[in-house]
Amino acid sequence: MNDDEVFIGGVTRAWLRARSQNERYAVWKRAKGLHSAEGNHLARAIELLGLPYAEPEPLAEEDPLMARMREIAASPEARAAAVEATLDGLPAMAGIDVLMHEALGEDYRRNEAAAPTAQKLAAELMTRLGYVEAGRKPLPARCVARSGVFWKRG
């Protein structure tokens, strides 16, 4: 493999190695979505790198970070933040993401599985509150997660 080979968008293997799992997944997903020879070539190169590029799974139930995240998501502040974000036209995750980052800091921001876990916890909360999924929306730039489910009253 030639590390200097330049793929569509100026991407190189060295650049891909320096990216996080989420970033590689986003590049892979965009490349596959192009439905072109160049996009497929880049996607295949990502697959052959041998580094994780799939969207990470949520944390395991026995993970200590999961217990801390569950506490935050079960708090009245999380409920208020999720509903307020929804009323503002944002995914509920926009409110919960900020709380997670404030409470957990680097443990939340640097763990590849933390954002998917927060998404799962936000979905559980909103479902319990009687909301139903109404599509996906991007999150504000201040958030660790990039997008989230938008909820409406069921």
Q: Which residue has the tokens 């069921």?
A: 154
Determine phi and psi for 129, rounding to 5 degrees.
-80, 0
Q: Report the percent of the chain where pLDDT is more than 70.
A: 99
Helices and strands in the chain, H and E counts: 8, 2
18 and 89 in a single domain? The answer is no
Q: Give the integer Cα–Cα distance in Å for 99 and 111.
A: 16
Query: Where residue 154 falls among pLDDT bands split at 50, 70, 90?
Result: confident
Residue 36 lies in a domain: yes
Q: pLDDT tier at 1 (50, 70, 90 boundaries)?
A: low
* Residue 33 forms part of a structural domain: yes
Measured CA to CA, the distance from residue 72 to residue 53 in angstroms comes to: 28
The yes-or-no verdict on residue 130 having pLDDT over 90 is yes
Q: Is residue 131 part of a domain?
A: yes
Q: What is the DSSP letter of 51?
A: S
pLDDT in tens, 48-107: 998 887 777 789 899 999 999 999 999 999 999 999 999 999 999 999 999 999 999 999
Asked if 93 and 120 sit in the same domain, the reply is: yes
SS3 154: coil
Average the pLDDT over 13-34 and give the result: 87
The pLDDT of residue 64: 94
146 plus 98 within the same structural domain: yes
Are residues 108 and 145 part of one domain? yes
Does residue 69 sit in the same domain as residue 35?
Answer: no
- Same domain flag for 43 and 116: no
Q: Domain count of the chain? A: 2
In this prediction, residue 19 carries a pLDDT of: 87
Is 55 among the domain residues?
no
User: Among 39, 46, 1, 50, which Cα is nearest to 25's?
Assistant: 46
Largest CA distance in the chain: 53
The gap from C-alpha 33 to its chain's centroid, in whole angstroms, comes to 18
Query: What are 91-111's pLDDT values in tens digits?
Result: 999 999 999 999 999 999 888
Q: Are residues 143 and 74 in the same domain?
A: yes
78 and 149 inside one domain: yes
Place of tokens 């409110």: 95
Query: Could you tell me if residue 142 is inside a domain?
Result: yes
**Residue 38 within a domain:** yes
Instruction: Report yes or no on 79 lying in a domain.
Output: yes
Q: Which domain holds residue 147?
A: 64-153
Name the one residue in this structure whose structure tokens are 């009245």.
76
With beta carbons less than 8 A apart as the criterion, state whether 62 and 80 touch: no
